[in-house]
Chain A
Amino acid sequence: MTEYSKTVPKDPTDSEATLEAVLDAIILYTQDGDELVRYKNELKQVVLTFDGA
């Protein structure tokens, strides 16, 4: 099991843009079978952690 994290900065003016960026990141990194195992919603960024199967 290989865990790795990716950080998506938030758009301070547009929460929809932030959401879209987070979803795009999840789709990108899970295309080959990796799984999103947790996320951390921080003040200025969202940290996604994947399990590289």
Chain B
Amino acid sequence: MHVEIRKIFLTLNAIAIAMLAWIGGGCASSETQVQKAAKDWCMTIRGSQVIPVYPLTEDIQPGDIFLVQVPIDQQQKLYKQNGFLALDNHLDRLNPTGYDRFYAYSFFVKGVTNELPRDWIRPSGTNQSWLLAPHAAFPSYSFTVRNGAGMNLAVPVQGVPVGLSLMASDAASGTIEIKDAYTMGVDTISLYRQVKDWAKANTDFLGYFGPNGKQTNYLRVVTRIYATGKMSVSLMNASSRSGGLDVGVPKPVNLLTPTLPANSTNTSEATLQNYTNAWSTLSQIVQAAGAAKDAAGNILPGGSLRLTAASARSVSMDESFIPPIIFGYLGFDCALAENGVLGAPIPTYAVIQSGQTLNQLKEFQQYQSGIKSQVELFSEIQTNYSAGSIVKREGIRKKASDLGLISGTVSDESFIKTLRRAIEPNDATVTQKFKDLADLSAQSQ
């Protein structure tokens, strides 16, 4: 019996070490996996009309000013490609003066001095971080995950890989829920006025970033942030493997269905005791996996994990962030004109949307230009073809076939009808082919 217990503990230790290695090293070692985690996570947050912060951090506040040196259409492209807008050029942090007016009749206690954001983020003498701030709620997000084959949702939340390991599963479906969400913000008008004053005082610096040819630079100002204190991850084992080499490999969650003692007289008590012991062991594994430490033994940033439910085919875990961390924001952008003068404030979301609009408009304009050119060239070919000799017509048909505008041999009568179908305004290479054919048809023969 003693040997068996020792075997179980050795197995559990090995699993815990493997999970730590996966969470701490294996995942992060691949650049593409990290990028995928960033994108997938951000796409999830974007679904809630909030601009994602990546990586998750505590250190973003209303009044933060960033310099954006990417054109709008490029921003939209990067936003689509990466899922988030980089906040790497942090110019300054203003302390918004509009909080008092903004919250005076709602969340501020009458007669009490409130100093935001400090009094909400880190109230002195207590561990009630963010509890005084307005609450926010977000929907839960579903995802599927498959070991080694990529995820359709990669998230910077430890609960997902830990849960997979517990179930020893190669595939799972699940949900992630942002709980204990809070928000803090300030009105755009008061903050914009502050930013204008700030810009006047820093024209020497901002002057370097005025319009340069086609490129316009922007100041991005954060007006509202969203924080979360807890994320819940639920995973259902979707693995379909039932044979092969995996048979018999012990799963940590199998501890919850222990074998009943053969000679015990009180089976219900023994079962309860076994279950309690197994639950305790599982919880210890989960906590060990969540409390990643550096070489000096300090707990690394991130959340702590707590098992909330488990069965042979499902695991639910809460990941707590103490204090809460910022996962999204809203803000406005101001274009930088000559000498550091600021343009009108445009909501960041609108800037991104207008980027999308610009791209779509570009596509439409390219279509319009394509159809105009191709129809003109087609008309020219049609005229020359109708006026041409039999030999010339044959030559035009052969050239059209060689260019791929028509397929195979087409009769004289149906050539124009077939060629018309080849007009493809969205494809610039087709325009060139029509041009080549028009040039040939214009030659005298």
Residue from the set A18, A32, A50 with the largest chain B CB neighbour count within 10 Å: A32
- Does B368 belong to the interface (CB within 8 Å)? yes
- Does A21 belong to the interface (CB within 8 Å)? yes
A21 with B420, Cβ < 8 A, contacts A9-B426, A12-B361, A13-B361 known: no
Q: Which residues of chain B in 404-445 are interfacial with respect to chain A, using CB atoms and an 8 Å cutoff?
A: 416-417, 420-421, 423-424, 426
Find out whether the CB atom of B371 lies under 8 angstroms from the CB atom of A4.
Answer: no
A4 with B364, Cβ < 8 A, contacts A13-B357, A28-B375, A32-B416 known: no
- Size bracket, chain A contacts: 20 to 34
Q: Which residues of chain A in 19-53 are interfacial with respect to chain B, using CB atoms and an 8 Å cutoff?
A: 21, 24-25, 28-29, 31-34, 44, 50, 52
Determine chain B's interface SS by DSSP, over half rule: helix
Find out whether the CB atom of A24 lies under 8 angstroms from the CB atom of B360.
Answer: no
- Size bracket, chain B contacts: 10 to 19
- Does B367 belong to the interface (CB within 8 Å)? yes
Cα of A8 to Cα of B420 in the assembled complex, Å: 16
Question: Taking CB as reference atom, which chain B residue is nearest A43?
Answer: B360
A12 with B364, Cβ < 8 A, contacts A7-B426, A24-B371 known: yes
Give min CB distance, B311 to chain A, whole Å: 42
Find out whether the CB atom of B421 lies under 8 angstroms from the CB atom of A12.
Answer: no
Find out whether the CB atom of B421 lies under 8 angstroms from the CB atom of A52.
Answer: yes
Cα of A18 to Cα of B358 in the assembled complex, Å: 15
Find out whether the CB atom of B360 lies under 8 angstroms from the CB atom of A12.
Answer: yes
Cα of A50 to Cα of B371 in the assembled complex, Å: 17
Give min CB distance, B100 to chain A, whole Å: 41
Give min CB distance, A7 to chain B, whole Å: 6
Q: Which residues of chain B in 337-392 are interfacial with respect to chain A, using CB atoms and an 8 Å cutoff?
A: 356-357, 360-361, 363-364, 366-368, 371, 375
For A9, the chain B residues whose CB sits under 8 A away are 360, 363-364, 366-367, 426
Find out whether the CB atom of A32 lies under 8 angstroms from the CB atom of B417.
Answer: yes
A21 with B364, Cβ < 8 A, contacts A29-B421, A33-B417 known: yes
A21 with B424, Cβ < 8 A, contacts A13-B357, A28-B375 known: no
Question: Taking CB as reference atom, which chain B residue is nearest A32?
Answer: B417
For A17, the chain B residues whose CB sits under 8 A away are 364
Find out whether the CB atom of B360 lies under 8 angstroms from the CB atom of A44.
Answer: yes
Cα of A39 to Cα of B385 in the assembled complex, Å: 32
Option from B364, B420, B426 in Cβ contact (under 8 Å) with A11: B364
Find out whether the CB atom of A28 lies under 8 angstroms from the CB atom of B423.
Answer: yes
Give min CB distance, A45 to chain B, whole Å: 8
A21 with B368, Cβ < 8 A, contacts A7-B426, A10-B360, A13-B357 known: yes
Option from A10, A28, A29, A50 in Cβ contact (under 8 Å) with B364: A10
Question: Taking CB as reference atom, which chain A residue is nearest B374?
Answer: A28
A25 with B371, Cβ < 8 A, contacts A6-B424, A9-B426, A32-B417 known: yes
Find out whether the CB atom of B420 lies under 8 angstroms from the CB atom of A32.
Answer: yes
Cα of A43 to Cα of B123 in the assembled complex, Å: 48
Give min CB distance, B422 to chain A, whole Å: 10
For B426, the chain A residues whose CB sits under 8 A away are 7, 9
Cβ-closest 10 pairs across A and B: A32-B417, A9-B363, A12-B360, A11-B364, A9-B364, A12-B357, A9-B367, A12-B361, A44-B360, A4-B421
Residue numbers of A with Cβ under 8 A of B are 4, 6-13, 17-18, 21, 24-25, 28-29, 31-34, 44, 50, 52
Taking A4-B421, A7-B426 as known contacts, 10 extra A-B pairs with beta carbons closer than 8 A to each other, sorted by chain A number, are A8-B367, A9-B364, A10-B364, A13-B361, A21-B371, A28-B371, A29-B420, A31-B420, A33-B417, A44-B363
